[in-house]
């Protein structure tokens, strides 16, 4: 559990870092809806617990994804089982009621009386904050889902005081009176619990108690963490996403009661919304739920609904004459009320303003604000656009809140003019031009130059913006590549109105490893604002350098292509040994006859000796042993034939060892039977 919590904490920190790096917040979009289907995947049609089921169903419900029919069967069985069991834990009852509020497994007048009694007893006897939370919030859910149920808390003020006793002076709360450690996450649970007590109370809670809680809320806001872009979040041991979401749920629940009169700073609310939008799409189901649920709480609250200004694109092409487009929506992407958007300032990289107080036009069809023309002094480069949202508060039923000013980094791109490009070989002594050629860097050229170590190579060109100003690219490199694949890269610097590079080969002979021969010349120019960035193969230069001294460094070994091992291999040429000359066929046949002749003589000898089977045993046991013995000898002879035809030596020896043991046993039995028969004849 500790390892998993630490992993979640580290992931949350990474998300916070991403949020800090992001400059433009985007509302919830279809990307979140697609990701939700991958994050909340049930196992065999249900989730491991009702807590996971609620978080999945709640997230999908907020995003407008209907998956109730796919999950209602198995999940509702668990809900009915928990609500029908008197031994169910308070936590399980709370999440069963939460799921029931979405799936409507039990509704109408079918009030689970045993559950209500358990929750009321839990609220009365609770000592821990979580017991208060599950009991009170469970009773609130019962009141919302089952009509005609009297769930008023007669001792509501006493319960309010018991919960309030767990608060700390810094606005944080403890989980129990026996635990001195306080938590910002617990503060969110406490605010939700107190909101439930207020809604279940038969009469108004003492305003002094409510005022004390409101004071604690303001102190809690003093612990807010802030980034330079106006993003706010709460941090804690549960991680910034879970902690901030818990506080937001608690605050919106507490503010839902008119008796609290809670008003929070608008910039803090917008900053909290920007935090959740800035983390992107969490891959963890718990973080995903906390993000979506917290944003839904911010979109539907009593104090103020945050509006988010976003841009479909932060790049403006001056070549295509693209308009600047801006959208304003709620955090969940709903349409904003009638309002105006003004471009207060457009600051260039030097801090000078090039656009001031320009109100954007509105396109009702796309719900987009746009600026379709730019002043004549608007050139390529990086800008900071400062937007202001103009709200008409009298025309809106809800109270909306926005940032006072939203700063957005904008990149203006365009085609950069490349002029007066030339390459020349100079004499080192007087600097006179030996050879010079004009270049067209927009296409590859076939320039051919030659130089020795006493000469120089000069490359120069001019880059100008659409307004005719000098343009300094982020990247401008010249690469010399020797025919042995050794490469050398040189930086081209812009000085004044011209970009120039001069290579003095006398001072570069050691860097070039004294390698004479052909060098390919390649120029690279690139910049984020340059739409026509280029990589141009200019041509080649033939260098005549001195011989390498004995102690001079050798050129580095060039890396081999790692994929070359998967290519075709070199053909293997093999010459087989010339077969030895075989003897004549007739000689082989004569040798075969000499081998077979003794066997024929053996057979003839047997017939001459009058061999017969009269002495073959007649009893069953002796006859069986004799047959097995002769069969074993035949098997050995057959094994020899197979060895001659196909078997190898090792297989033959293995089989022969088995047959040898068998023959030893049956041969001994056969000889014993013959000896016994002979003794009987002699005694007779």
For residue 171 the two structure tokens come to 């606005």
Q: Which of 162, 161, 167, 164 is nearest to 183 (CA)?
A: 167
pLDDT at residue 8 above 50?
no
481-530 confidence digits (pLDDT tens): 999 889 999 999 988 889 999 999 988 999 999 999 999 999 999 999 99
Please list, in sequence order, all residues whose beta carbon lies within 8 angstroms of the beta carbon of residue 116, skipping any fewer than 6 positions away. Answer: 139, 142, 149, 151
For residue 164 the two structure tokens come to 């309030």
Identify the sign of the CA torsion 132, 138, 143, 144.
Answer: positive
Question: Is the backbone of residue 108 left (phi > 0), alpha (psi -120 to 50) or beta?
Answer: left
Q: Is residue 309 exposed (0-12), middle (13-18) or buried (19+ Cβ within 10 Å)?
A: buried
Report the pLDDT averaged over residues 569-581.
82
- Across 408-412, 570-574, 578-582, the highest mean pLDDT is recorded for 408-412
8 Å CB contact between 96 and 79: yes
User: φ, ψ for residue 646 (rounded to 5)?
Assistant: -145, -30
pLDDT at residue 292 above 90?
yes
8 Å CB contact between 276 and 244: yes
pLDDT at residue 7 above 60?
no
pLDDT at residue 15 above 50?
no
241-283 confidence digits (pLDDT tens): 999 999 999 999 988 876 667 777 788 889 999 999 998 899 8
pLDDT at residue 216 above 60?
yes
Measure the N-to-C terminal CA separation of the chain; round to a whole number of Å.
Answer: 97
User: φ, ψ for residue 467 (rounded to 5)?
Assistant: -90, 5
The pLDDT, as a whole number, for residue 349 is 86
pTM assigned to the model: 0.70
The pLDDT, as a whole number, for residue 618 is 76
Looking only at the bridges linking them, the beta strands covering 498-504 and 447-452 are unpaired
Task: Give dist(CA 60, CA 63) in Å, integer.
Answer: 5
pLDDT at residue 10 above 50?
no
Please list, in sequence order, all residues whose beta carbon lies within 8 angstroms of the beta carbon of residue 125, skipping any fewer than 6 positions away. Answer: none
220-243 confidence digits (pLDDT tens): 998 899 888 889 999 988 999 999
């Amino acid at each position: 559990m500790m390892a998993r919590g630490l992993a979640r904490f580290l992931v949350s920190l990474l998300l916070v870092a991403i949020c800090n790096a992001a400059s433009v917040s985007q509302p919830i979009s279809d990307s979140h809806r697609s990701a939700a289907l991958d994050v909340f995947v049930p196992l065999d049609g249900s989730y491991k617990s009702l807590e996971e089921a609620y978080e999945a169903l709640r997230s999908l419900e907020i995003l407008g994804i209907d998956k109730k029919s796919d999950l209602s069967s198995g999940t509702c069985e668990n809900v009915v089982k928990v609500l029908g069991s008197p031994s169910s834990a308070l936590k399980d009852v709370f999440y069963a009621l939460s799921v029931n509020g979405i799936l409507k497994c039990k509704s109408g007048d079918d009030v689970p009386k045993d559950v209500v009694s358990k929750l009321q007893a839990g609220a009365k006897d609770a000592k821990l904050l979580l017991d208060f939370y599950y009991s009170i919030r469970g009773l609130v859910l019962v009141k919302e889902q089952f009509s005609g149920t009297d769930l008023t808390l007669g001792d509501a003020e006493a319960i309010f005081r018991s919960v309030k006793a767990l608060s700390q002076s810094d606005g944080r709360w403890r989980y129990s009176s026996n635990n001195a450690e306080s938590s910002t996450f617990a503060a969110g649970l406490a605010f939700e619990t107190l909101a439930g007590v207020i809604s279940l109370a038969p009469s108004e809670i003492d305003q002094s108690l409510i005022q004390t809680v409101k004071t604690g809320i303001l102190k809690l806001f003093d612990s807010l963490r802030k980034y330079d872009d106006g993003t706010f979040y709460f941090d804690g041991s549960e991680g910034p996403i879970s902690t901030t979401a818990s506080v937001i749920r608690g605050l919106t629940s507490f503010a839902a009661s008119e008796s609290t009169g809670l008003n929070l700073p608008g910039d803090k609310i917008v900053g909290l919304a920007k935090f959740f939008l800035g983390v992107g799409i969490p891959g963890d189901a718990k973080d995903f739920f906390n993000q979506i649920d917290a944003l839904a709480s911010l979109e539907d609250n009593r104090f103020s609904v945050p509006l988010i200004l976003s841009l479909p694109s932060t790049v403006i092409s001056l070549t295509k004459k693209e308009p600047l487009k801006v959208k304003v929506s709620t955090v969940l992407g709903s349409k904003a009320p009638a309002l105006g958007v003004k471009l207060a300032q457009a600051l260039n990289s030097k801090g000078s303003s090039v656009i001031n107080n320009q109100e954007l036009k509105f396109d009702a069809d796309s719900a987009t604000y746009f600026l379709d023309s730019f002043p004549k002094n608007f050139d390529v480069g990086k800008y900071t656009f400062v937007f202001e949202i103009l709200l008409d508060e009298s025309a809106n039923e809800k109270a909306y809140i926005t940032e006072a000013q939203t700063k957005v980094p904008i990149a203006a791109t365009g085609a950069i003019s490349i002029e007066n490009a030339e390459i020349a070989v100079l004499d080192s002594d007087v600097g006179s031009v030996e050879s010079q050629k004009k270049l067209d860097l927009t296409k590859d050229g076939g320039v051919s130059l030659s130089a020795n170590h006493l000469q120089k190579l000069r490359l120069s060109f001019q880059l100008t913006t659409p307004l005719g100003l000098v343009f300094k690219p982020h990247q401008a490199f010249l690469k010399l590549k020797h025919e042995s694949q050794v490469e050398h890269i040189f930086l081209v610097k812009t000085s004044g109105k011209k970009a120039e590079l001069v290579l003095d080969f006398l001072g570069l002979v050691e860097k070039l490893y004294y390698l004479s021969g052909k060098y390919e010349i390649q120029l690279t120019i690139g910049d984020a604002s340059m739409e026509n960035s280029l990589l141009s193969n200019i041509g080649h230069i033939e260098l005549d350098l001195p011989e390498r001294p004995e102690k001079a460094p050798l050129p580095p070994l060039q890396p081999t292509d790692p994929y070359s091992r998967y290519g075709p291999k070199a053909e293997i040429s093999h010459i087989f040994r010339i077969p030895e000359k075989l003897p004549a066929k007739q000689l082989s046949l004569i040798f075969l006859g000499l081998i077979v002749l003794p066997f024929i003589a053996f057979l003839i000898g047997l017939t001459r000796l009058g061999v017969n089977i009269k002495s073959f045993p007649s009893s069953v046991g002796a006859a069986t042993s004799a047959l097995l013995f002769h069969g074993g000898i035949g098997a050995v002879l057959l094994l020899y034939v197979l060895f001659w035809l196909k078997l190898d030596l090792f297989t033959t020896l293995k089989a022969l060892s088995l047959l040898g043991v068998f023959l030893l046993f049956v041969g001994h039995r056969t000889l014993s039977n013959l000896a016994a028969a002979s003794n009987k004849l002699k005694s007779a």
